[in-house]
Amino acid sequence: MTRERIISGKPISPEEDTFTWSLRPKTLKEYIGQNTVVKKLLISLEASGIRGEPQEHLLLHGPPGLGKTTLAYIVSREMGTRLVTTTGPTLSKIADLMGIMTNLDNRDVLFIDEIHRLPTAVEEFIYPAMEDFRVDFIVDKGPFSKVINVPLKRFTLIGATTRVGLLSAPLRDRFGITYHLDFYSHDEMKEIVVRSAGMLDIKIDKEGADIIASSSRGTPRIANRLLRRARDYAIVKADGNITGEVARKAFDLEGIDSLGLDDLDRILLKVIIDYYKGGPVGIEAVAATLSEEVNTLEEMVEPYLLKIGFLIRTKRGRMVSQEAYKHLGIPFTVSGQASLFA
C-alpha cells in the first residue's frame, strides 16, 4: 500500500522539487547545519583549488531530504564548474554512462543520486574512470571483439545514497571522502524556517517558527513543505500570519503532532504495543501487519523514530520505548521488554 506522507523526506512531486530549488542555499557560507561536513568541505575545496585539481570523489549518505543534492550543487558552484546529474536507476546500460563521461570537461562534477541502485556492470565500468580517468569500451563480440581505451577528463564524482550499506565495498572504497548527513537540531531547523519564510515573504512569529521546526523531523525538505501548508491555512483561516496557534491548527488538520509524527508513525508504534506487547518483534512481521513494504518502514519511518528514542532496534527485533508510550498516552505495562527499561 502506498501512502503520501507530507512528513516524508522524499520529494512528493516534480513541482515541489522545482519550488524547493528556489529556497536552497547557493554557497557553503549560506548553508545552515551539518557544521562538521561544511567545515571539512570548505578546506577540501580550497585545497583542491590551490592545487588546480578536481575535488576528490565524494560520497554523501543519510536519510532523504537532508541536503545531499544541495551540497552537490554547491560543490560544483564553489569549483566554478559544470554539474551533470543523473540517478542510479536510469543508468541501466554501460552506453548510458559512457556518453555522459566522455562529455565531461576538466573539473566537472558528475552527480549520481541513489548510487546504490547502479547495476553491477555499470558500477564496475566506473572503477577505472574514478581511479585512472579512463574507461575500457568493448567493441563487437566473439573473435572480432576488441577493447578500446578511452581517456577521460579529470572530473569529480559525487554519489548520494540513503542506504550506504547496499554499496559494494569496491565502489565505496574508491571515494576519497565520505560524509554522513544527520538530522538537524531544533535551532537549525528554526533558522531554516525563518530563512525560507523571509524568501517567500511569509509573515511568521517566533512561536509559529518554533512549532514548524518541532514538527519537521529534523529535515529541511519537510520544514519547507510544512511552511507552505501553514501559509495556505493562514491565508484561508486567519489573517495570513503564521502564529503558533495557526501552525498547530494547520498540522492538527494534517494529522501531524508536536514531534512531527503522522498516522503511519503512530500506527507502527501502536501495532508493536497492541499486537506484540511492545516488542521485540521483527520488522517483517510489523510490515505484514501494516500491509507495508519493509523498505518503506526501514527508510521512511524507522530512522526518525530511532533518532528520537521512540523505537529501539535489538538483535531480537524492534521495541517501543517508555517515552513513546508516554507520548501516545498509553500506560506502560511490564512485558517481555521490561528488562531493557529497568
Residue-wise pLDDT for 298-329, tens only, equals: 888 898 999 999 999 999 999 999 999 999 99
Is 68 among the catalytic positions?
A: yes
As a dihedral over the C-alpha atoms of residue 268, residue 5, residue 220, residue 175, rounded to 10 degrees, the angle is 80
Backbone angles phi, psi at 64, to 5 degrees: -65, 150
> Is the pLDDT assigned to residue 261 strictly greater than 70?
yes
Which positions ≥6 away from 90 have C-beta within 8 Å? 96
Is 2 among the catalytic positions?
A: no
Domains for the chain: give ranges and CATH numbers: 34-180 (3.40.50.300), 186-254 (1.10.8.60), 263-333 (1.10.10.10)
| Closest CA relative to residue 203, chosen from 224, 225, 230 | 230
Q: 5, 24, 68, 231: which is the annotated catalytic residue? A: 68
Q: What is the pLDDT of residues 202-247, one digit of tens each?
A: 999 999 999 999 999 999 999 999 999 999 999 999 889 999 999 9
Q: What is the pLDDT of residues 11-64, one digit of tens each?
A: 776 666 677 778 889 999 999 999 999 999 999 999 998 988 899 999 999 988
Q: 5, 107, 217, 221: which is the annotated catalytic residue? A: 221
Contact between 319 and 312 (Cβ < 8 Å): yes
Contact between 193 and 213 (Cβ < 8 Å): yes
How does DSSP assign 181-215, residue by residue? Answer: --PPPHHHHHHHHHHHHHHTT--B-HHHHHHHHHT
What number is the average pLDDT over the span 175-199?
95
Tell me how far apart the alpha carbons of residues 142 and 115 are, in angstroms, rounded to a whole number: 31
321: cell is 520505548
210: cell is 518554533
251: cell is 498540522
Q: 113, 257, 262, 265: which is the annotated catalytic residue? A: 113
Q: What is the pLDDT of residues 106-123, one digit of tens each?
A: 999 999 999 999 999 999
Is 221 among the catalytic positions?
A: yes
Tracing cell 523526506 back to the chain, one arrives at 9
Element (H, E) at 248: helix 244-254
Q: 162, 219, 243, 296: which is the annotated catalytic residue? A: 162
